[in-house]
């Protein structure tokens, strides 16, 4: 018998059964039904999608807050406290408060403007936006 069940010129056996006839592949985990297949209910997948979207939004908000605080600390501290000491003077404290308020107001203004622009442009592929 030749390669892959074919006959060779020197093979005179009368075995008509192919070698693959008794091949029984083991059942694999890939042949089992997928948890993401059509058996998943619409309400469950919608709830999962909403939960993932809210988790992503919460993480993004946390990241934005960290970036904001980092920038406020970096810029306001450098501006208001030229010579750090053990305590803050009232002037330094007022400067920090004023700087932080201005920085946060500017951040909020930019964020609102950016979100308004995204909404006007139709979501642009954002999570939860139009597909």
Q: What is the CATH number that goes with domain 44-121?
A: 1.10.287.810
Q: What is the pTM of this model?
A: 0.48
Domain boundaries, the chain: 44-121
Residue-by-residue pLDDT tens, the chain, 131 positions: 444 445 445 444 444 444 545 555 555 444 445 555 555 567 788 889 999 999 999 999 899 889 988 988 888 988 899 888 899 999 999 999 999 999 889 988 998 999 899 889 886 555 554 44
Place of tokens 């890939």: 30
């Amino acid at each position: 018998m030749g390669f892959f069940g074919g006959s060779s010129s020197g093979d005179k056996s009368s075995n008509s059964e192919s070698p693959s006839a008794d091949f029984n592949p083991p059942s694999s985990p890939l042949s089992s039904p997928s948890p993401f297949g059509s058996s998943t209910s619409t309400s469950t997948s919608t709830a999962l999608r909403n939960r993932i979207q809210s988790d992503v939004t919460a993480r993004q908000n946390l990241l934005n807050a960290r970036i904001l605080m980092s920038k406020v600390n970096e810029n306001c501290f450098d501006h208001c406290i030229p010579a750090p000491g053990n305590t803050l003077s009232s002037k330094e404290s007022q400067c920090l408060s004023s700087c932080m308020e201005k920085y946060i107001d500017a951040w909020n203004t930019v964020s609102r403007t950016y979100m308004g622009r995204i909404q006007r442009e139709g979501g642009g592929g954002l999570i939860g936006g139009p597909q």
